[in-house]
Homo-oligomer: A and B are copies of this chain.
């Protein structure tokens, strides 16, 4: 099943003008954080973050299908000793724009940056805000079930590589029935807390989320062949995840160097279904 994977250079505010309405199934992105990467991204000042974001979000709202989802990975910076409020204000503003703030997932960063400050512990989590257009939206909960408890955990660990592949291929066409029976009994639905390690592999683009993050949301909120959009594509992590999972994807990125980097990464991307997966979510 061939999928398209496009990268477009430019500001998503401009690029999306030519995108048809209601054409995207899932938007997932980690936008430029306020002021944090001034040198590379031309960071946005925290006090003006909402007004910068809103016109772009208006385009997002237009191109997203009614049953689609918008997942925004973001975390407020510390400014002057305090957590800045621009993320809170953004949520309120997006609701006024017509979005539904359906859920807030927590990405728990298992291996967060080391460091010590006198009045603060290490920051080990980020928000994954889930917005929708309608109360009813596409959601495939079975696609992200996790091993249940210790008993099942130890059983799963004893599985061979082939079993893992067949287990993983569940999302795709078929699912071995013999294994399905006891897997079903030993699997549980996840919660709204995701335990993922940060990946430090990508040196050229520092801010990207780990592939497991978009993978998880892509599995939950889209089917094979759906369209995924990352309006701040960066090095293309979400695009690669989409391609690997058999979804079409479009990325928009302002910086030409990141565009080139993303294109390069995408050329290496394979369908992950054919490989033992990266254990994107583990039971605690």
Select one of B120, B137, B139, B191 contacting A103, CB under 8 A. Answer: B120
Q: Which residues of B contact A125 (CB under 8 A)?
A: 106, 191-193
Q: B81 touching A88 by the CB < 8 A rule?
A: no
Copies of this chain assembled into the complex: 2
| Binary interface encoding of chain A residues 95-112 relative to chain B, with 1 for a CB under 8 A from any of its CBs, else 0 | 100001111101010101
| Binary interface encoding of chain A residues 187-201 relative to chain B, with 1 for a CB under 8 A from any of its CBs, else 0 | 001111101000000
CB of A177 to closest CB in B, whole Å: 23
Known contacts A124-B192, A190-B121, A135 near B101 by CB under 8 Å = no
- For the complex, what is the distance from the CA of A82 to the CA of B195, rounded to whole Å? 24
Q: A185: CB under 8 A from chain B?
A: no
Q: B119 touching A135 by the CB < 8 A rule?
A: yes
- For the complex, what is the distance from the CA of A104 to the CA of B123, rounded to whole Å? 9
Q: A16: CB under 8 A from chain B?
A: no
Known contacts A122-B191, A189-B116, A193-B108, A81 near B95 by CB under 8 Å = no
Contact count band on A = 35 or more
Select one of B91, B136, B189, B284 contacting A110, CB under 8 A. Answer: B284
Q: Which residues of B contact A122 (CB under 8 A)?
A: 189-192
- For the complex, what is the distance from the CA of A119 to the CA of B102, rounded to whole Å? 9
- 8 A-B pairs with CB atoms under 8 Å apart are A82-B102, A88-B92, A103-B121, A116-B141, A123-B192, A124-B191, A124-B192, A284-B284
The 7 A-B residue pairs whose C-beta atoms are closest, nearest first, are A124-B191, A81-B135, A88-B88, A122-B191, A124-B193, A121-B192, A83-B101
- Inter-chain pairs besides A106-B108, A108-B108, 12 sampled, C-beta below 8 Å: A81-B135, A82-B100, A82-B101, A82-B135, A83-B102, A102-B120, A103-B120, A108-B193, A121-B191, A122-B192, A195-B284, A284-B284
